[in-house]
Structure 1
Amino acid sequence: MKIVVPVDGSDPSLRAVKHALAMAKGARSAEILLVTVQNMVALGASDIGVLDPSLVVQAARRNGERALRKAIALAKAAKIRFSTRNEMGAIAETVERIARKEKADQIVMGTRGLGGVRGLLLGSVTTQLVHLATVPVTLVK
């Protein structure tokens, strides 16, 4: 069983990691793929304009490493086989592409409700991923 878990370092994403690890413990053979996806918004650079590409890559690497730190510690403590990916791009599309390419059996991700009209107008990464994914998606509150 291969489970992809998008991680951004937030409490909801860490709860998803814990849930995926619990699922993996019950499986005969399991691997967790911890994925963090950086983009200009996540890097706080969406309003800046043109940036030196090497600075963007460095910032993405640092943010990704920071986002993965606690998730990696949880996976090591659980003694579950895992790997990590730190990518740039649109979050939902990138997670879906990785899950498809890696032949994942499932995606487990945390939710963060935007609530009210804002959630209806803007949608969310969770909603986008549920619509794009070709494998089951488990949402963890």
Structure 2
Amino acid sequence: MKILLPVDGSPDALAAVAHALALVRQGLAAEMVLVNVQEPPSLYEVVTAHDAQVLEAVRTAAGADLLAPAEALLDAAGVSWESEVAGGQPAPLLLELLENYGCQAVVMGARGVTDAQAGGPGSVALALLDHSPVPVTVVRAVAAEPAEPVDDGVAAEGD
């Protein structure tokens, strides 16, 4: 089975990678396709760079940097993967890449870095849930538990 893992550097995206790895540890035979989608350059970037090759190099480097932690997790687990940095509108491009790679499932974070507010799934997750021809699993990062106060035997001021 091939699983598409969209990765954007958000905690939810890395939680999705960890979830996919948990499925593999439980016996699922799977290969992973890591994808980072860089949105089209802004007018400011186009005016500043003046060169499509420079914009492409910056986009590729930024995407590779965001994919690196996920690639490291998969390498450490010994799971087969391939990756791509693509440019375009995230939701339609992910649907296209899903088809191009022949993926049978998507495991993705509930919210990306641009949708970081609390709440339900972000716009890209909702679009894939609505339009994907294959099952989509949406994963949310578990919030860290607040640390318990440590009684070190030292009385606080005013005790």
- What RMSD in Å do the two structures reach over aligned CA positions? 1.9
Q: Which residue of 1 aligns with 2:127?
A: 128
Structure 1 residue 25, shift from structure 2 partner: 3.0
**Per-residue CA shift, 1:18-58, capped at 9, x if unaligned?**
11111123345310111101113xxxx42415442112101
Q: Show the counterpart of 2:6.
A: 6
Give deviations 1:86-133, integer Å, cap 9, x for gaps.
Answer: 1111111111111112221100000126457xx8xxx61111121121
Residue 32 of structure 1 aligns to a residue in which SS? strand
Structure 2 counterpart of 1:92 = 91
2: CA distance, partners of 1:95 / 1:125: 9
Give the TM-score of the pair, scaled to structure 2.
0.75
Aligned equivalents of 2:28 and 2:3: distance in 1? Answer: 13
Give TM-score scaled by structure 1 length: 0.84
Partner of 1:137: 136
Find the aligned partners of 2:21 and 2:93 in 1 and give their Cα distance. 22
* 1:15 and 2:15 matched: yes
Give the corresponding residue for 1:25: 25
Amino acid at match of 1:16: A
Counterpart for residue 52 of structure 1: 51
| Higher CA-based Rg | 2
Q: Secondary structure at the match of 1:8?
A: coil
CA contact (8 A) 1:25 1:80 kept: no
Aligned mates of 1:129, 1:65 — CA distance in 2: 23
Give 5+ residue unaligned stretches, structure 2.
141-159
Could you tell which deviates more after superposition, 124-133 or 48-57? 48-57
The aligned counterpart of 2:110 is 111
1:81 aligns with 2:71: no
Q: Identity over aligned residues, as a percent?
A: 36
